[in-house]
Structure 1
Amino acid sequence: MDKGTIINIVIIGLLVLFIFMRIKPTKGLRNLNVEAFKTEMTKSGRQLLIDVREPSEYKGGFISGAKNIPLSQLSGRIAEIPKDQPVLLYCRSGMRSKNAARVLLKNGHKEIAHLQGGLGAWKGKLVRN
């Protein structure tokens, strides 16, 4: 094999690894479809609903009762999220909420779920500011 072929194989391998890491299931995170997410929202009433999109996206429409803590600010605002409270996360497509869940899990949070497909899958009403 020549040097160019080896480099191409390494690049393809890294790309496959990157894609796998982005889509693999996150241990400790419950992936909820829209109906299951709505059900969780109506449970005991003590869960915290967090929209991890940026403030400009949040202002365009959010699920009623959601608190906006953007993924980009999450590490600095982690103390705002009680560890003994269930957390429901969502974003536009489900990728940022999955990443937010990883941050929360690493910081000792236990009960975390996210809206699979994000607001793209949501069929309910949105509050607009």
Structure 2
Amino acid sequence: MLVASRAQIEDFSRQLMRIGIDSMLGYVEDVNTLGIELETVNLIDTQTIETLVSRNDVQLVDLRGAAEYKAGHIDGAESVFVGTLPAHLDKISRDKTVIIYCQGGDRATIGYSLLIRHGFKTVKNYSGGMNEWVKNLKLEPAG
């Protein structure tokens, strides 16, 4: 379900299909008309992720495609493509804090919603993703 204006739906649908999400249920222009309360995303920045990634109680998940992951990723990250995330929930720990990221934030936002919907409680979204990580020269070289 998307929250967007009618004019944005075609573009958003195409963008979602590019990352493997092609079963959109519909859209609303104003969620207030549905009578539901929106949840907020637990966003973290580069400084915060640096303090968390080396901890044993944290799982870092890269939601980009395999080729993007192979080209470079944050050290210690596991690769689970966002388009296949619902089929691979068994790869995500329910006992650890899960930090997700992608290239620039869009796929991580979708991944965050999917994980929360499936009952994951401790998810953090590194919304700056690889764009921000590379900008700060913290790239793990391809190997």
TM-score normalised by L of structure 2: 0.69
Tell whether the 8 Å contact from 1:48 to 1:85 is kept in structure 2 after alignment. Answer: yes
Partner of 1:87: 98
Tell whether the 8 Å contact from 1:50 to 1:88 is kept in structure 2 after alignment. Answer: yes
Computing the radius of gyration from Cα coordinates, the structure with the larger value is 1
Q: Spell out, residue by residue over 1:26-63, the C-alpha distance to the aligned partner (whole angstroms, 9 max, x if none).
A: 72531111111212224x42211000000011000011
- Cα gap change, 1:84 to 1:15, in 2 (>3 Å): farther
Structure 1 CA distance, aligned partners of 2:120 and 2:40? 9
User: What CA RMSD, in Å, does the superposition of the two structures yield over aligned residues?
Assistant: 2.4
Structure 1 CA distance, aligned partners of 2:93 and 2:76? 16
Moved more, 47-56 or 76-85: 76-85
Q: Which has the higher contact order (CA 8 A, sep 6+)?
A: 1
Structure 2: which 5+ residue stretches go unaligned? 13-27, 29-37
Structure 1: which 5+ residue stretches go unaligned? 1-11
Partner of 1:15: 7
Shift of 1:84: 2.3
Structure 2 CA distance, aligned partners of 1:13 and 1:105? 24
Partner of 1:50: 61
Shift of 1:16: 6.0
- Cα gap change, 1:28 to 1:112, in 2 (>3 Å): farther
- Cα gap change, 1:84 to 1:119, in 2 (>3 Å): same
Identity of aligned residues (%): 22
Tell whether the 8 Å contact from 1:28 to 1:105 is kept in structure 2 after alignment. Answer: no
